[in-house]
Structure 1
Amino acid sequence: MTTETIGYARVSTQGQSTDPQVDQLRAAGAERIYCDKMSGVRSDRPGLAEALDRLRPGDTLVVAALDRLGRSVIQVLNTLTDLDHRGVAVRSLREGLDFSTPAGRLAATVFAAMAELERELIRERAAAGRAAAKARGRQVGRPPVLDAEQVDLARKLRAAGESVAAIARIIGTSRATIYRWTEEAP
């Protein structure tokens, strides 16, 4: 039976590139590489699902760093435990550890906890930044689609009996926006 080395790369946003990870995984002997461009928090990552489905007993999964598998301790440990039970070895290039040993599993727990902590700290800093911007009177989040004049016009047209579709065409926005701003559910 031949074994295979499968690589998995992940970045958090569409604007980032998996190329550096892919290069590392190829250099580490990965014959096939699966990629995702989405948060590690999400459990519905198609690239990871394909990689996990492809792995057979005796195969090796290689990742550039353990936090590529997930951002929560439970998520990472569940994946590692599942792979261990299936007879699949896991190598993480950054940590340089063998996760099939007790010491490797302990290290995996520590590294996964650090990834989760990092994610929580990022979330806290972002929330603090939004609160500070809001306190200074700055726009936080997406700017409103309609200005006050357009909202007033939409409400007047709606009160006059104009259809939501017609108002949306007149203002140049979606019907959902008109419903939202005229406080009437679709």
Structure 2
Amino acid sequence: MIFGYARVSSKDQNLSRQIKELEEFGCERIYQEKQSGKDLKRPVYYEMRSKMRFGDVLVVHDLSRFDRNKEDIRNEWKSLTDEEIDIVVINMPILDTRRYKDLEGVGQLVSDIVLTLLSWMVDEERERIRAAQREGIEIAKDQGKFEGGKKRYHAGATGKDKVIYDRVVHY
């Protein structure tokens, strides 16, 4: 079976471009998730993984759809390939494990080197984003424009946040 996995980091982002690519690739089952890629603890991803078996193929648009941490990417890649599940990264054709099966050890070596390099690049991009965010917050603080995130627990809160406010903060 060919599985597709589409992920964006927030509810405001759109999955349609990734889904279209996965459909065009021929994915039989497409799993979608709107959750951060900071780690692999994502319910839809785990559900998909539980259904994958020997000989299946996992297709993603980009390597960063797995995760944004190079060690997590490498560990998950190894776990999938150890289970003999092939992986295809659409925007990086060199990361298609089906291509290297006939090359045996050499193919695995090429795949490992490329994966290591590209997962490092994904990790570095995440660090650049975090650094830019920290710098932006510092500048905003210096200019008196930064007040932090939204208050979650307050008198006007609703639902669980209001209950917590009433029981803990405003007891």
> Normalising to structure 1: TM-score of the pair?
0.75
1:53 partner letter: S
1:44: which partner in 2?
41
In the aligned structure 2, how far is the partner of 1:6 from the partner of 1:135?
48
1:151: which partner in 2?
none
1:176: which partner in 2?
165
Q: Is 1:115 the equivalent of 2:122? A: yes
User: C-alpha deviations, 1:97-118, integer Å up to 9, x for none?
Assistant: 2246321221111111111111
1:33: which partner in 2?
30
Segments of 5+ residues of structure 1 without an aligned counterpart are 147-167
User: C-alpha deviations, 1:38-74, integer Å up to 9, x for none?
Assistant: 1111322112112211111111000001110010111
User: How far 1:179 sits from its partner (Å)?
Assistant: 5.9
Q: How does 1:1-186 map to 2 (within 5 A)?
A: 4-96=1-93, 97-99=95-97, 101-142=108-149, 172=156, 174=162, 176=165, 180=169
Identity percentage over the alignment? 29
| Change in CA separation of 1:21 and 1:129 when aligned onto 2, cut-off 3 Å | same
* DSSP 3-state at the match of 1:41: coil
In the aligned structure 2, how far is the partner of 1:64 from the partner of 1:7?
9
| Change in CA separation of 1:118 and 1:177 when aligned onto 2, cut-off 3 Å | farther
User: C-alpha deviations, 1:2-53, integer Å up to 9, x for none?
Assistant: xx10000110000001111011011111100111111111322112112211
In the aligned structure 2, how far is the partner of 1:111 from the partner of 1:124?
20
In the aligned structure 2, how far is the partner of 1:82 from the partner of 1:144?
40
| Change in CA separation of 1:144 and 1:37 when aligned onto 2, cut-off 3 Å | closer
Segments of 5+ residues of structure 2 without an aligned counterpart are 101-107
In the aligned structure 1, how far is the partner of 2:65 from the partner of 2:152?
36
1:158: which partner in 2?
none
| Change in CA separation of 1:31 and 1:139 when aligned onto 2, cut-off 3 Å | same
- Corresponding pairs, count: 156
User: C-alpha deviations, 1:98-152, integer Å up to 9, x for none?
Assistant: 2463212211111111111111110000010000000011133235689xxxxxx
